[in-house]
């Protein structure tokens, strides 16, 4: 199959998946106990007041009608307004998207070269001291949950030594004060760097033992060139899939990291919207997450297709 | 003459209050010359996309604190949770307590317009709009707005639907802020408060600057920034790391751990911690079993477990330290033998008591499990059911027989009106007694202070003996501040001096 045809088929399938996810999320939020009116009333749950809030928000209309309204809006690229704050959903999503994109982008930027370097270095020295050291460190690091790592890092470098800001509280934009990014980035990098470098190492070891690498070496090509130009692309194919999963996870906002470091990204937006039963916002987020998942996986598959056409 | 005091008597009372307020003012400079300036950053838990700057929609603590910084109410609650004049310079009722004449201070909004009687009426009309759902609506419902009027620029005459001596409580109600007439767009709010609006990033930050012309003297701070950090650990870390100077709502554990590095300000009697028994259904429709619960509860153990070093034991009554609190009713102490006897008398041996709780408030689940152990010690079975935190407050109005409950501070009259009358809409104990309702009606139509105090006392005796609210503790509200911050008051949460930044300075 040619690359463009493969891409087109996958895109169409992806569109169907996104709409299905949006509808499923609508039903799931409907199934949660209580609605935005109950949540808004909070600790002052006068039943008459709740009923009136419900009427004001249009929550007394049949669910199917509301879902169809929302889908009709979607066709016009209108995501609707938050039922809790009345702000346009698109604006709320954009506000949350910026910090998440900054975090995810920088994490990937650091993650990819480091993971590949560590994986290749370990594979080339398979079984030797460096390989064993990298293996032990990555297995240990992978076992630490994000929140535990975050708490330790904040206690030591943020509060104890005072080298880095412990949170991103009150920072107008993450890039305006890059120091606030250091600790969250370390936490976000810790686990994916382990899993991806392990995959690169395994793929590289397989590739180095393969017939075509041995053939290239017999032909007298320089060793570094064989490793980088012939072995590495094959070794990367499985790692690319893992990078796609990592990207999903990063775009999901990594709720724990956002909460601990007070980064108002998509994860925070999602938690708030679910607590408030703010259906249009939850659905907008579902669209963003579904779309990125589909796109990221598509790109990963295309990249794998390109790197190792036999796969 | 006891029920109908002379107007002079009321003027005297009001003058006393005003004098107290003025003495308070005199201690402070009226110019900015001694101001130490600077920007104070205050971290609160917030609501992300749901946050609003419309003071009438305020619901969360951060919204209340921001509203207080930018807007004024006619009255606010003092340290004993009784109303103090604010924008209202004084108030005086008619002899029948149905008409109240409120005189406004000379004050102006941030855009220079004076605060007029019409702004007050328009603000209250907005809150009372039948199509809308502002929180203060039920408190203001006693006002007969159609018959209220602006006598002149600075005098409002309120007509009430019934005689109501506690009308100043209404003026101090949560969310009853005065906004300029016609204000609907609160993206750049204009109020008459000590700070004026600069910028807003929803869910992140609100920046305000001092209002040099504030009627109560300009704030010491140049700027005040509210920042949002939902996790308590994040608020503490930001404070410890010097990113904020004020961290709201900290736990007793944090206070003990970090008390040496930052200042912890405690506000006693801020939160009433209780279990609500529904008196209209089994098993707690039996007064003997309710009394058994009162006696088997070890309040000291509950306080020491849930809020170690940061609370006081309760005596099954709301509002310790507040005006009209019946502090002469003897403190209940655990008496397991008597509790067991009462359980036998109620024929409830072997009964399983279900405690409904949730993570809707800090300490709920812990206190429920401690109480479950105490119930078991008295020979009953106990089971803890954890409900949904987002819908908890609405759920417990109708469901469960014994539920975790807490309340912030409010006047005792308001607590009774909202939760303990047959007509109350948020009556979690289902307490409904015609004779109790009658006492309430008598209290709020009795102008004589001493007679009113007596009636409130009688009502609290009834609640203490037979009520459904097992009040086991009063929580301190804990706020952390950086070492250079002074002037943070320890008044109960939701009162005038709580989160009051115009009196705070950076040294």
Q: What tens digit of pLDDT does each residue of B39-94 get? A: 999 999 987 766 779 999 988 889 999 999 999 999 999 999 999 999 999 999 99
In terms of domains, do A143 and A43 share one?
A: no
CATH label of the domain that carries residue B119 = 3.90.76.10
Pairing mode, strands B39-44 and B223-228: parallel
Domain total for chain B? 3
Contact A272 B50 (CB under 8 A): yes
The answer as to whether A107 is a domain residue is yes
> Taking a C-beta distance cutoff of 8 angstroms, is the pair A192, A115 a contact?
yes
In terms of domains, do B444 and B495 share one?
A: no
Q: Which helix or strand (DSSP H or E) is residue B463 part of?
A: helix B449-466
Domain total for chain A? 2
Of A16, A46, A76, the position where a domain reaches its end is: A76
> Taking a C-beta distance cutoff of 8 angstroms, is the pair B378, B340 a contact?
yes
> Taking a C-beta distance cutoff of 8 angstroms, is the pair B210, B228 a contact?
no
CB contacts under 8 A, B 122-161 vs A, are 131-133, 135, 137-138
In terms of domains, do A124 and A239 share one?
A: yes
Range of the domain at A223: 89-307
Q: Rg of chain B over CA atoms, in angstroms?
A: 23
One-letter-per-residue 3-state SS of B148-160: CEEEECCEEEEEE
Residues 6+ apart with CB under 8 A from B233: A151, A260
In terms of domains, do A59 and A190 share one?
A: no
The answer as to whether A245 is a domain residue is yes
Confidence check: pLDDT of B99 > 60: yes
Residues 6+ apart with CB under 8 A from A80: A70, A73, A88, A89, A280, A284
Q: What tens digit of pLDDT does each residue of B425-457 get? A: 899 999 999 999 999 999 999 999 999 999 999
Q: What tens digit of pLDDT does each residue of B153-177 get? A: 999 999 999 999 999 999 999 999 9
pLDDT score for A18:
86
Range of the domain at B99: 72-172
- Residue A44 sits at the chain B interface (C-beta within 8 Å): yes
In B, which residues are within 8 Å of A47 by CB distance?
394, 397, 425
Of A49, A76, A103, the position where a domain reaches its end is: A76
Q: For residue B422, report the phi and psi dihedrals to the nearest 5 degrees.
A: -55, -30
CATH label of the domain that carries residue B313 = 3.10.105.10
> Taking a C-beta distance cutoff of 8 angstroms, is the pair B50, B242 a contact?
no
What is the arithmetic mean of pLDDT over B241-249?
Answer: 94
Tokens of B162: 């019934």
Q: What tens digit of pLDDT does each residue of A20-48 get? A: 888 888 888 888 887 888 888 877 788 88
- Among B85, B224, B190, which residue's Cα sits nearest to residue B502? B224
CATH label of the domain that carries residue A107 = 1.10.3720.10
Residue pointed to by tokens 């919204």: B63
The answer as to whether A84 is a domain residue is no
Burial of A223 (0-12, 13-18, 19+ CB in 10 A): exposed
Q: What tens digit of pLDDT does each residue of A178-237 get? A: 899 999 999 999 988 998 898 888 888 888 788 887 888 888 788 787 787 777 877 787
- Among A237, A230, A233, A235, which residue's Cα sits nearest to residue A212? A230
Beta strands in chain A (DSSP E): none
In terms of domains, do A138 and A165 share one?
A: yes
In terms of domains, do A63 and A147 share one?
A: no
In terms of domains, do B349 and B410 share one?
A: yes
CA B58 from chain center: how many Å?
A: 13
Residue pointed to by tokens 């009051």: B500
> Taking a C-beta distance cutoff of 8 angstroms, is the pair B355, B444 a contact?
no
In terms of domains, do A185 and A296 share one?
A: yes
CB contacts under 8 A, A 91-120 vs B, are 92, 95
pLDDT band at A240 (very low <50, low <70, confident <90, very high): confident
pLDDT score for A255:
81
What percent of chain B shows pLDDT beyond 90?
82
CB contacts under 8 A, B 70-99 vs A, are none
Residue among B59, B201, B390 whose CB faces A275 most closely: B390
Residue among A47, A262, A273 whose CB faces B49 most closely: A273
CA distance to partner chain A, nearest, from residue B269 (Å): 19
Which 3 state secondary structure label does DSSP give A270? helix
When comparing pLDDT for B117 and A12, which is higher?
B117
The answer as to whether B318 is a domain residue is yes
pLDDT band at B369 (very low <50, low <70, confident <90, very high): very high
Q: What tens digit of pLDDT does each residue of A141-175 get? A: 888 888 889 999 999 999 889 899 999 888 878 88
Tokens of B66: 């921001």
In terms of domains, do B243 and B298 share one?
A: no
In terms of domains, do A199 and A59 share one?
A: no
In terms of domains, do A65 and A110 share one?
A: no
Give the count of beta carbons closer than 10 Å to the beta carbon of residue B160. 20
Residue pointed to by tokens 């990592």: A246
In terms of domains, do B248 and B372 share one?
A: no
Q: Is B187 left (phi over 0), alpha (psi -120 to 50) or beta?
A: alpha
Q: What's the rounded Cα separation, in Å, for the pair A2 and B435? A: 86
> Taking a C-beta distance cutoff of 8 angstroms, is the pair B273, B472 a contact?
yes
Residues 6+ apart with CB under 8 A from B253: B308
The answer as to whether B11 is a domain residue is no
> What's the mean pLDDT when you consider all of chain A?
85
pTM: 0.86
Confidence check: pLDDT of B473 > 80: yes
pLDDT score for B120:
98
Question: Does the structure's ipTM exceed the value 0.90?
Answer: no
CB contacts under 8 A, A 248-277 vs B, are 259-262, 264, 268-269, 271-273, 275-277
């Amino acid at each position: 199959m040619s690359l463009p045809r493969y891409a087109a088929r996958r895109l169409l399938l992806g569109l169907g998946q996104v709409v299905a996810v949006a509808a499923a999320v609508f039903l799931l939020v409907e199934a949660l106990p209580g609605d935005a009116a109950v949540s808004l009333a909070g600790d002052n749950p006068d039943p008459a007041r709740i009923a009136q809030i419900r009427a004001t928000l249009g929550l007394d209309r049949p669910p199917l009608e509301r879902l169809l309204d929302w889908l009709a809006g979607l066709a016009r690229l209108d995501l609707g307004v938050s039922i809790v704050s009345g702000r346009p959903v698109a604006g709320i999503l954009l506000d949350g998207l910026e910090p998440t994109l900054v975090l995810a982008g920088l994490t990937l930027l650091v993650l990819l070269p480091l993971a590949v370097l560590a994986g290749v270095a370990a594979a080339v020295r398979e079984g030797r001291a460096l390989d064993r050291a990298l293996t032990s460190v990555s297995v240990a690091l992978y076992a630490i949950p994000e929140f535990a790592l975050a708490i330790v890092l904040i206690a030591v470098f943020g509060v104890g030594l005072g080298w880095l800001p412990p949170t991103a509280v009150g920072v107008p934009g993450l890039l305006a004060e890059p120091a606030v990014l250091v600790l969250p980035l370390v936490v976000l990098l810790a686990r994916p760097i382990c899993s991806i470098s392990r995959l690169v190492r395994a793929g590289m070891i397989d590739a180095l033992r393969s017939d075509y690498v041995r053939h290239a070496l017999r032909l007298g090509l320089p060793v570094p060139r064989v490793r980088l130009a012939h072995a590495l692309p094959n070794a990367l194919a499985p790692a690319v899939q893992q990078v796609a999963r990592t990207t999903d996870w990063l775009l999901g906002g990594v709720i724990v990291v956002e909460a601990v470091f007070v980064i108002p990204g998509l994860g925070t937006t999602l938690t708030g919207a679910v607590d408030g039963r703010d259906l249009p916002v939850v659905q907008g987020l579902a669209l963003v997450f579904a779309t990125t998942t589909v796109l990221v996986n598509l790109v990963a598959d295309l990249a794998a297709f390109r790197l190792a056409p036999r796969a | 003459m006891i029920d109908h005091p002379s107007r002079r008597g009321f003027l005297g009372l009001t003058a006393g209050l005003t004098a107290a307020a003025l003495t308070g003012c005199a201690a402070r400079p009226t110019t900015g010359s001694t101001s130490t300036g600077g920007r104070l950053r205050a971290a609160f838990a917030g609501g992300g996309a749901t946050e609003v700057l419309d003071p009438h929609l305020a619901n969360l603590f951060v919204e209340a604190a921001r509203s207080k910084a930018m807007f004024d109410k006619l009255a606010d609650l003092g340290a004993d949770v009784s109303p103090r004049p604010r924008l209202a310079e004084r108030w005086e009722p008619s002899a029948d307590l149905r008409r109240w004449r409120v005189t406004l201070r000379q004050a102006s909004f941030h855009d220079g317009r004076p605060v007029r009687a019409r702004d007050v009426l328009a603000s209250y009309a907005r809150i009372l709009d039948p199509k809308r759902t502002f929180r203060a609506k039920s408190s203001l419902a006693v006002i007969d707005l159609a018959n209220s009027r602006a006598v002149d620029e600075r005098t409002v005459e309120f007509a009430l639907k019934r005689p109501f001596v506690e009308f100043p409580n209404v003026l101090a109600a949560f969310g009853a802020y005065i906004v300029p007439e016609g204000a609907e767009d609160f993206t750049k709010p204009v109020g008459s408060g000590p700070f004026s609006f600069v910028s807003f990033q929803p869910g992140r930050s609100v920046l305000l600057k001092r209002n040099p012309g504030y009627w109560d003297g300009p704030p010491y701070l140049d700027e005040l920034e509210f920042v949002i950090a939902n996790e308590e650990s994040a608020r503490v870390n930001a404070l410890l790391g010097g990113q904020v100077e004020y961290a709201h709502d900290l736990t007793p554990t944090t206070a003990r751990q970090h008390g040496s590095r930052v200042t912890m300000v405690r506000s006693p009697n801020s939160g009433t911690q209780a279990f609500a028994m529904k008196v209209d259904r089994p098993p707690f429709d039996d007064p003997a079993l309710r009394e058994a619960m009162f006696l088997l509860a070890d309040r000291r153990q509950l306080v020491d477990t849930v809020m170690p070093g940061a609370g006081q034991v309760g005596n099954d009554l709301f509002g310790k330290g507040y005006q009209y609190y019946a502090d002469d009713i003897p403190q209940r102490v655990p008496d397991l033998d008597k509790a067991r006897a009462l359980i036998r008398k109620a024929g409830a041996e072997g009964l399983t008591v279900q405690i409904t709780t949730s993570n809707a408030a800090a300490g709920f689940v812990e206190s429920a499990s401690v109480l479950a152990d105490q119930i078991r010690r008295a020979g009953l079975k106990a089971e803890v059911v954890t409900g949904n935190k987002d819908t908890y407050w609405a759920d417990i109005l109708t469901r469960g027989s014994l539920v975790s409950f807490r309340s912030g501070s409010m006047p005792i009259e308001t607590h009774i009106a909202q939760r303990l009358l047959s007509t109350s809409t948020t009556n979690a104990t289902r307490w409904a007694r015609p004779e109790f309702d009658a006492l309430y009606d008598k209290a709020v139509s009795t102008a004589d202070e001493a007679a009113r105090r007596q009636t409130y006392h009688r009502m609290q005796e009834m609640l203490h003996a037979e009520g459904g609210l097992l009040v086991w503790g009063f929580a301190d509200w804990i706020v952390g501040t950086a070492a250079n911050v002074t002037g943070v008051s320890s008044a109960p949460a939701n009162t005038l001096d709580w989160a009051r930044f115009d009196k705070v300075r950076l040294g």
